[in-house]
Amino acid sequence: MIFCGMALAPGRKVRVPLPVPGAQPLETLCLCGAAPGRTLVVTAGVHGCEYVGVQALRRLAVELDPAELSGNVILLPLANPTGFYAGAKQVVPEDGVNLNRAFPGDPAGTLSARLAYALETALYQAADFLADLHSGDCNEALYPLVFFPTAGTEAVNRAALTAARALTVHYRVRSTAQNGLYSWAVQKNIPALLIERGGLGLWSETEVNACCEDVRALLRHLDILPGGNPFRDQVEIAEARYVESAADGLWHPAAGLNDSVKAGALLGRLEDLSGRCIQEVRAEFDGVVLYYTAGLGVAAGDPLIAYGHP
């Protein structure tokens, strides 16, 4: 296996720096299996306050044994390290850009563009499959789910959907996104998923264990680890609505996680400081709440609530 110009011998576990133009390299851990096979790339820490995936990859870096692998695993626990250490909500603090909206990257751009360029240049050429781990941000409550692509080729979409069915999350959500770490990989013909678990700037051992099991499920699905996967009871969300704030204001959600809502039901109100209603959010169809902003203060364009139906 060759990664970032470094040749790795079978059966080895090696930390490899991933170069970023004009910035410190990112730290990856490469596990080169004792037997040949496919390569799974798993990333986390794209957003600075989403912690479950970061902890899961740190744990898997210790627990996974290259001697047991038929293929390779590349783990990147912190794709946005300055955002992580600064506790920055959603963005790369140096330029205020959401890294998951910065693809394709630019080696001569601001830091987020250079990070995106570095990630796609190093990771995409190595990956047979890519999984990007996320959570609700520090102000978001979220029910565990996986986004799978519908904007790639038929073969890539099918490969991603088949893998998504192996995960422990209850909801799998169709996605047409194209400018994120996982969704741009899909545009480059790499099957990929975005897995969401946890939120509100918190993490727990239960959530980390479940996230580790999802990564192991992908490894078994790709035959990198032996054993296969049991049937998972999932619900596919065919259509989702993602409601954003129309203005700066104070958000009062009226529905909770995994709540079933009827068409026309009040999902929340956005008010100004005097209490005047700026925006009233009502369900456009019968569905279920996937995530919502739990913080009181929101800026124009911030996410408020997401809901969907099978």
CA distance 194 to 228: 21
Say what the pLDDT of residue 302 is.
95
Say what the pLDDT of residue 29 is.
98
Element (H, E) at 12: strand 12-20
Q: 30: closest CA among 52, 45, 8, 46?
A: 8
Q: What is the DSSP letter of 118?
A: H
CA distance 182 to 46: 11
Say what the pLDDT of residue 24 is.
97
Say what the pLDDT of residue 252 is.
98
Q: Which residues of the chain have pLDDT under 70?
A: none
Indicate the SS3 state at residue 15.
strand
pTM: 0.97
Question: What are the DSSP calls for 19-55, one per residue?
Answer: EETTEEEEEEEEEE-SEEEEEEEEE--SSTT--HHHH
Say what the pLDDT of residue 177 is.
94
